[in-house]
Chains A and B, each alone.
Chain A
Amino acid sequence: MNNTMVNIKELPEEELFYGHKACAGCGGALAVRLALKILGPRTFVVCPANCMSAVGFLYPSMPFFVNAFASAFPCTGAVLSGVEAGAKAQGLKDFYVVGTAGDGGTADIGLQALSGAIDRNSRVIYICYDNEAYMNTGVQESGLTPFGAKTTTSPVGTEIKGTLTHKKSMFEIVAANNISYAATASIGYPQDYMNKIAKAKANQGTSYIHVMAPCPTGWSMATDTTVSIAKEAVNCGLWYLAEYEHGQFKLNKDPKQFTPVKNYLSQQGRFKHLSDDQIAEIEHHRDVKWEKIRADWK
């Protein structure tokens, strides 16, 4: 794990995202809550169309206790740059600008603006909370939906059974964009996630934190398993904890032995249709990826 250790016992007690109407057990809400614990009250949140904005801005109830901007869907990166420029132009100091975009709002419709923000090296933090589908609009397939997953636009039919493509490599994409600091994280490892947010907080350029945030509603799983399933994804190698800084990749956690992917997949309704071939494809894809990770990131 990295060196900046956030002390849980010294976390501020203020809740800056509270009383919202997210689903019980929402991974995304936890990701946003923990990020704001680290960033504190002098934060401007930019939240594009997603579950957090749907539950975060309905007049007259405003669950963000910090400044928050409900942005259009494609432009989180642009609004981040704009808010930072506006705050800078009036001489504000000691403030943080953070985007809380979903996977669709990052890897698909938001990719262009994210690339622009990184290119400008705006002093902003971009958090992608990844629940692996367009959850807010009803669980449709996104560029970060994993192979085989059932979504409402990649249903299990007679000819096609679930998503046919693998997740886009967002972490590698932002690294190729020469970002100042990027990290993958998981709400299954909240200490590691908060450490990375703290690092992003101190970074003078653009930061990208990709945090896996399971969705009990969309993944068809028990609401109390959100954190444990997120941990399981890392333990079976389907997600990884890594960083990119000073132009170098660094793997944070290298499991000596992966737990069986079936342990992870079987807890989620969205995978219950998987054939042995599909599971083999998932394992094979994981193995190819980890061969590369272990060769290049250690």
Chain B
Amino acid sequence: MTSNKQFISGDEAVALGVKLSKVKVIAAYPITPQTIVVEKLSEYVANGTLDSEYIHVESEHSAIMATLGASSTGVRTFTATSSQGLLYMAEGLPFVGGGRFPVVMMNANRSVAVPWSIFGDQNDSLSTLNFGWIQVYVENAQEALDMIIQSYKVAENPAVMTPVMVNLDGFILTHTYELVDIPEQSLVDSFLPPYVATNKMSLDNPQSVCIGVGPDWHTEFRYKQHKDMTNAIQVINDVDAEFGKKFGRKYGGVVETYHCDDAEAVLVTVGSVTSTARAVVDQMRQDGYKVGLLKLRFLRPFPIEEFLSLNDCVKAVGVIDKDFSYGYEGIIYTNVNSAIIRRSNVPVTKNYIAGLAGRDITKEQLTDMYMDLLHSDKNSNEDRVKFIQCKVG
């Protein structure tokens, strides 16, 4: 295949992914640091290079509900937001998730006020884990573009029919530039055919959508929603493998492991910090340390199996959280712990709170985390939750 590499930002890569996916309706409201996505998309629509309706909505709540309105007629849709906007549309998220419509949304991970910050952390999307969306966290601009395309294929699978949120670290990914391979439209078309909706309003066959269900049948609808999302793990892995064959790039499915097979200490990372951690693993391996990296790509559905199948040589697992659930611990840590506790051999787990509201996570900090894990003692009473380089604690 011909290679068309461009030097673009994460936001621009997302916009290109949406254009290549031939989305038919976009409804979005601008918010830093997502703005470049919607600006590029309106440029494509204005130039006729993307044949899509672009709805200028007056708020994020209207953005998600207009997107849902369009999706309910059976067309491929897209929206994008960040932080405050994600929370403003929060009511709409379970509408799409529970209503079972294959919307794809890009979220620029940004800190949630108050205190107010435009910089990146992951509290926004992690606070919405329960609303029935598949959530993937990408590491770089290439993965961002590729995952937009993969997400439509996963979401629109009739056995899945679940929306997907594609998360990019705010500014670190949305606004930094890298060389990205832009696939040919014809190749994308052969991978992602037009959306054939099974769940839609139709003039030939009128339906009532987003219906109410009383106590007598509600549990059964919810159980089905849960089972369909869990079954999506297989679809996610299959779609990634198929993408790899066609485009020459694959990402490992729900997780990607790096040097975990004989690792004694493993760090779990979500998002762009994975790249830095990989470099640290390489350096520490050279220095003789048995360390590994688990890139947790999907937070929902949660990859329980991948944590159960970590080898018993893993004595300590550290989870980096660019978020926090006040009064308790990091959200990813809670999720990982609940999987790890199902093992017969349970390693010690530690939570490193870092990178809040755009603070850098450095190689030195990551090295310290690994050393801390390698020296950790299961029987120690020390606090498992550590705020990294906190000036006051």
Give chain A's interface residues, CB within 8 Å of chain B: 41-42, 44, 46, 53-54, 56-59, 62, 64-72, 74-75, 77-83, 85-90, 92, 95, 112-113, 115-116, 119-120
**Most chain A CB neighbours (cut-off 10 Å) among B56, B68, B208, B213:** B208
Task: Tell me the minimal C-beta distance from B343 to chain A in angstroms.
Answer: 40
Q: Please measure, in the bound complex, the distance between the C-alpha atom of A203 and the C-alpha atom of B214, giving whole angstroms.
A: 39
On chain A, the residues within 8 Å of B207 by CB distance are 67-68
Q: Are A82 and B61 in contact (CB under 8 A)?
A: no
Do A82 and B208 form a contact, CB below 8 Å, given A42-B203, A89-B25, A90-B74? no
Assess whether B209 is interfacial by the CB under 8 Å rule: yes
Q: What per-residue 1/0 map shows which CB atoms of B339-364 lie under 8 Å from chain A?
A: 00000000000000000000000000
B87-131, CB < 8 A from A: 91-92, 95
B59 sits at the interface (CB 8 A): yes
A86/B209 contact (C-beta < 8 A), A67-B203, A112-B62 known: no
Question: Which residues does chain B contribute within 8 Å of A79, judged by CB atoms?
Answer: 65-66, 68-69
Check A89 against B65 for contact (C-beta < 8 Å).
Answer: no
A66 and B206 contact, CB distance less than 8 A: yes
Residue of chain A at shortest CB distance from B77: A86
A-B contact pairs, 10 of them (CB 8 A): A68-B208, A69-B72, A75-B66, A78-B69, A81-B57, A81-B66, A82-B66, A86-B73, A89-B53, A89-B75
Return the 3 tightest CB-CB contacts between A and B, nearest first: A82-B69, A86-B73, A78-B62
Q: Contact partner of A83 among B57, B69, B217, CB < 8 A?
A: B69
Answer yes or no: B392 CB below 8 A from chain A CBs: no
B297 part of interface (Cβ distance < 8 Å): no
CA distance A54 to B74 in the complex (A): 25
Q: Flag if B69 contacts A72 (CB, 8 Å).
A: no
Given contacts A58-B211, A72-B95, A79-B65, A88 and B53 within 8 Å (CB-CB): yes
Cross-interface CB contact of A87 among B52, B73, B206, cutoff 8 Å: B73
In Å, the complex CA distance between A112 and B27 comes to 16
Which bracket fits the contact residues of B?
Answer: 35 or more
Query: What is the distance, in angstroms, from A116's C-beta to the closest C-beta of chain B?
Result: 4
* A85→B27 contact, CB < 8 A: yes
When chains A and B are docked, how far (Å) is the Cα of A92 from the Cα of B75?
A: 12
Within 203-225 of B, Cβ neighbours of A (below 8 Å) are at 203, 206-214, 217
Contacts of B72 in A (CB 8 A): 69, 82-83, 86
CB distance from B376 to the nearest CB of A (A): 47
Report how far A201 CA is from B129 CA in the complex, Å. 42
Chain A residues near B55 (CB, 8 Å)? 81-82, 85, 120
Instruction: Indicate with 1 or 0, residue by residue over B69-81, a CB within 8 angstroms of chain A CB atoms.
Output: 1111111010000
B211→A81 contact, CB < 8 A = no
Q: Which A residues touch B202, using CB under 8 A?
A: 67
Q: A44-B73, A78-B62 are in contact. Are A86 and B25 (CB under 8 A)?
A: yes
Kindly identify which residue among A54, A92, A113 contacts B62, using a CB–CB cutoff of 8 Å: A113
Query: Closest chain B residue to A54 by CB distance?
Result: B212
In the complex, are the beta carbons of A57 and B211 less than 8 A apart?
Answer: yes
Minimum CB–CB distance from A53 to chain B (whole Å) comes to 8
Nearest A residue to B195 via CB reads A90
Contact indicator A89/B27 (Cβ below 8 Å): no
**A44 and B201 within 8 A (CB):** yes
Asked if B213 contacts A59 (CB within 8 A), the reply is: yes
Structural contact, B69 and A92, CB atoms closer than 8 A: no
Q: Is B151 an interface residue (CB 8 A)?
A: no
Q: How far is the CA of A86 from the CA of B157 in the complex (A)?
A: 20
Find the B residue at minimum CB distance from A58.
Answer: B212
Determine the distance from Cα of A92 to Cα of B70 in the docked complex, in whole angstroms. Answer: 13
The minimal Cβ–Cβ distance linking B142 to chain A, given in whole angstroms, is 29
**What B residues does A44 contact at CB under 8 A?**
73, 201
With a cutoff of 8 Å between Cβ atoms, the chain B residues found around residue A59 in the complex are 211-214, 217
Which residues of A have CB within 8 Å of B208? 56-57, 62, 64, 67-70
Q: Which residues of A contact B56 (CB under 8 A)?
A: 116, 119-120
Contact, CB under 8 Å: B203 / A75: no
Q: Across the interface, do A90 and B211 meet the contact criterion of CB distance under 8 Å?
A: no
Residue with the greatest number of chain B CB neighbours at <10 A, chosen from A83, A89, A113, A115: A89
Q: What's the nearest-Cβ distance from chain B to residue A283, in Å?
A: 38
B178 CB, nearest partner CB in chain A, Å: 33
Given pairs A81-B57, A112-B62, 4 additional interface contacts (CB within 8 A):
A41-B203, A44-B201, A77-B62, A83-B72
Give the CA-CA distance A64 to B214 in the complex, in Å: 18
The reply on B58 being an interface residue by CB < 8 A is: yes
Q: Would you call B66 and A70 a contact (CB within 8 A)?
A: no
With a cutoff of 8 Å between Cβ atoms, the chain A residues found around residue B77 in the complex are 86
With A70-B210, A70-B211, A90-B74 as contacts: A85 and B53 at CB distance below 8 Å: yes
Q: In the complex, are the beta carbons of B209 and A75 less than 8 A apart?
A: no
The complex places the Cα of A59 from the Cα of B52 at a distance, in Å, of 34
Is B211 within 8 A of A119, CB to CB? no
Could you say which of A57, A69, A70 has the most chain B C-beta atoms within 10 Å of its C-beta? A69
Chain A contacts for B19, CB-based, 8 A: none
- A85 contact set on B, CB distance < 8 A: 25, 27, 53, 55, 66, 69-70
Q: Specify which chain B residues have a CB less than 8 angstroms from the CB of A71 in the assembled complex.
A: 65, 69, 210
CA of A86 to CA of B92, assembled, Å: 18
A90 nearest in chain B by CB position: B75
* Minimal Cβ-Cβ distance residue in A for B209: A69
Q: A67 vs B203: C-alpha distance in the bound complex, in angstroms?
A: 7
Bound Cα distance from A57 to B62, whole angstroms? 22
CA distance A5 to B135 in the complex (A): 54
Given contacts A41-B206, A89-B25, A90-B73, contact A115 B211 (CB under 8 A): no
Is B300 part of the contact surface with A, judged by Cβ < 8 Å?
no
Bound-state Cα–Cα, A239 to B176, Å: 59
Let me know if A86 and B74 touch, CB within 8 A: yes
Given contacts A42-B203, A92-B203, contact A69 B210 (CB under 8 A): yes
